[in-house]
Amino acid sequence: MTDQNTDSERRIDTAETDGGVAEPDPSSAEPTDGESIDDESTDGTVSIAAPDIGADAAEQVQSVLESGMLADGPEVRDFESEFGAYCGTDRAVATSNGTTALHAALEGVGLEDGDAVITSPFSFVASANAIRLAGGKPVFADVDLETYTLDPADVERVLAERDDIVGLMPVHLYGLAADMDWLSELAEEHDLFVVEDACQAHGATIDGKRVGSFGDAGCFSFYPTKNMTTGEGGIVTTDRDDVADRAAGFVNHGRDVGSGGSYEHIDLGHNYRMTSMAGAIGRSQLERLPEFNRARRENAAYYDEQLADLPLETPTEPDGYRHVYHQYTIRTDDRDALAATLDEHGVDTGIYYETPIHHQPAYETVSTAAATLPNAERAAETVLSLPVHPALSERDRRTVVEAVRDHFHSQ
Ligand SMILES: Cc1ncc(COP(=O)(O)O)c(C=O)c1O
């Protein structure tokens, strides 16, 4: 059995200052998750997402397959070290997907049955689902309409109304960090844990500090549409050894960390482990993340400039924040008609998310489902995401802009 890539010389480019736009790479259709992927254009369509795996990752996967260590092997341990280092945390625990990362992190911070956790109603349903899967109660506070992330002022309102809140789960939506300075202050003041849902924000920063390193734990997804992918996969980042050890045990049938494959189970746990193939892809993708994020930011800057004079809201990047544009999301009252025009021009779009979580049928029985959360509801009615992925060509970007401009000029 060979352990490829135990190399210590793999380094992650933290400066993210050079590199170009990745070439388009044909992608296959995937079942839908938080976002769907359409087939890469064979018919002039500009797709909403296009994962780019590359030859290096394929070679690494081949080595893993030849090694015979397919589950939770050395590639996964290396990926954990490298991803933790990238985020600036001491520890990282790889998982099977972003939802299991959130679940494991909540177990890691010690969530108990019935504990209430404030989170965003304007997110993929997995954010709140993870709280329920861990036995907790999601409590929704509204989002800020400019940033689409938890509004700390509304979190304060909820904290003033209830005395059962034990934690916060901010979501760094679309690639922009939530207001972690203010939320961390509230957490400190009210003695709350913070689990960041960073599933859409690999590499996003506030004043140079990366998401995943602000809270007690941070959680990432490596679903194919994300800024980097492992096919399916997730990871928990943390500076707390106790959180990392509990999460690592929880994702591995409750085994004691470091006991290898022993049949001693000190806790209840799941099999939420990452495969070695996913770990190998993750290491290669992490090396390319700076290049991917740069390309996303270049595409976003182009749209910002080209769409500035139109009657729509383009994304906000507050001072000191570095947005990584998992989505480039505009807001307009004319959303559905604009999406139809773009479709006619061969441009795919996405609505993330048309139904806020508190209005999902699966949330009818959850206590704060009846709450009025006007910004989340307004966002759900007006947001539209345009293709911003790294594989967009110059022509793709122009097609998107021309289609949006055509729509507003023909009115
Ligand atoms: C904000 C957010 N949280 C959680 C998840 C869950 O991640 P996964 O699909 O890998 O389980 C996603 C993925 O779509 C997400 O976008």
What CATH number has the domain bearing residue 388?
3.90.1150.10
Within this chain, do residues 114 and 95 fall inside the same structural domain, yes or no? yes
| Distance from residue 352's CA to the centre of ligand 1 (Å) | 12
**Would you state the pLDDT for residue 35?**
56
Provide the token pair at 38: 């359409």
The 10s digit of each residue's pLDDT in 294-341 is 999 999 999 999 999 999 999 999 999 999 999 999 999 999 999 999
* 104-113, 329-338, 343-352, 359-368, range with the lowest pLDDT: 359-368
* Degrees, nearest 5: CA angle 296-300-301: 120
Within this chain, do residues 95 and 161 fall inside the same structural domain, yes or no? yes
Kindly indicate the confidence band of residue 368, based on its pLDDT and cuts at 50, 70 and 90.
Answer: low
**Would you state the pLDDT for residue 34?**
52
Q: Report the nearest atom of ligand 1 relative to the CA of 352.
A: 16
The 10s digit of each residue's pLDDT in 105-159 is 999 999 999 999 999 999 999 999 999 999 999 999 999 999 999 999 999 999 9
Q: Report the nearest atom of ligand 1 relative to the CA of 222.
A: 10
Residues 6 or more apart from 171 whose CB is under 8 A from it? 119, 120, 122, 123, 127, 149, 150, 178, 197, 199, 200
Residue 6 has pLDDT above 60, yes or no: no
Can you give the three-state secondary structure of 344-363, one letter per residue?
HCCECCECCCCCCHHHCHHH
Assess if residue 13 is contained within a domain: no
The residue among 289 and 263 whose pLDDT is bigger is: 289
Average pLDDT, integer, range 68-87: 96
User: Quick check: CB of 171 below 6 Å from ligand 1?
Assistant: yes
Average pLDDT, integer, range 62-91: 97
**Would you state the pLDDT for residue 370?**
62
What is the number of domains present in the chain?
2
Give the residue, by CA position, lying nearest to ligand 1 atom 8.
Answer: 98
Assess if residue 23 is contained within a domain: no
Within this chain, do residues 228 and 366 fall inside the same structural domain, yes or no? no
Displacement of CA 131 from its chain's centroid (Å):
16
Q: Which domain holds residue 371?
A: 290-409
Report whether 127 contacts 139 (CB < 8 A): no
The residue among 9 and 388 whose pLDDT is bigger is: 388
Within this chain, do residues 264 and 296 fall inside the same structural domain, yes or no? no
Within this chain, do residues 62 and 150 fall inside the same structural domain, yes or no? yes
Within this chain, do residues 127 and 189 fall inside the same structural domain, yes or no? yes
Q: Which of 256, 282, 308 is the last residue of a domain?
A: 282
What CATH number has the domain bearing residue 136?
3.40.640.10
Residue 347 has pLDDT above 80, yes or no: yes
Within this chain, do residues 88 and 154 fall inside the same structural domain, yes or no? yes
User: Quick check: CB of 99 below 6 Å from ligand 1?
Assistant: yes
User: Quick check: CB of 34 below 6 Å from ligand 1?
Assistant: yes
Assess if residue 43 is contained within a domain: no
**Would you state the pLDDT for residue 43?**
60
Q: Report the nearest atom of ligand 1 relative to the CA of 97.
A: 10
Within this chain, do residues 316 and 274 fall inside the same structural domain, yes or no? no
Assess if residue 39 is contained within a domain: no
Separation of alpha carbons 267 and 396, rounded Å? 51
Assess if residue 202 is contained within a domain: yes
Average pLDDT, integer, range 349-377: 89
Kindly indicate the confidence band of residue 270, based on its pLDDT and cuts at 50, 70 and 90.
Answer: very high
The 10s digit of each residue's pLDDT in 177-193 is 999 999 999 999 999 99
Report whether 46 contacts 399 (CB < 8 A): yes
Within this chain, do residues 388 and 321 fall inside the same structural domain, yes or no? yes
Sign of CA dihedral 205, 210, 214, 217: positive
**Would you state the pLDDT for residue 283?**
98
| Distance from residue 226's CA to the centre of ligand 1 (Å) | 9
User: Quick check: CB of 248 below 6 Å from ligand 1?
Assistant: no
The 10s digit of each residue's pLDDT in 18-62 is 322 233 333 333 434 455 544 444 467 999 999 999 999 999 999
Within this chain, do residues 96 and 150 fall inside the same structural domain, yes or no? yes
Q: Which of 258, 282, 306 is the last residue of a domain?
A: 282
Assess if residue 205 is contained within a domain: yes
User: Quick check: CB of 275 below 6 Å from ligand 1?
Assistant: no
Kindly indicate the confidence band of residue 16, based on its pLDDT and cuts at 50, 70 and 90.
Answer: very low
Assess if residue 20 is contained within a domain: no
Assess if residue 331 is contained within a domain: yes
User: Quick check: CB of 97 below 6 Å from ligand 1?
Assistant: yes
Q: Which of 100, 120, 124, 327 to mutate to test the pocket of ligand 1 (most atoms within 8 A of CB)?
A: 124
Within this chain, do residues 83 and 128 fall inside the same structural domain, yes or no? yes
**Would you state the pLDDT for residue 223?**
98
User: Quick check: CB of 225 below 6 Å from ligand 1?
Assistant: no
Q: Which of 248, 282, 316 is the last residue of a domain?
A: 282
Within this chain, do residues 276 and 132 fall inside the same structural domain, yes or no? yes
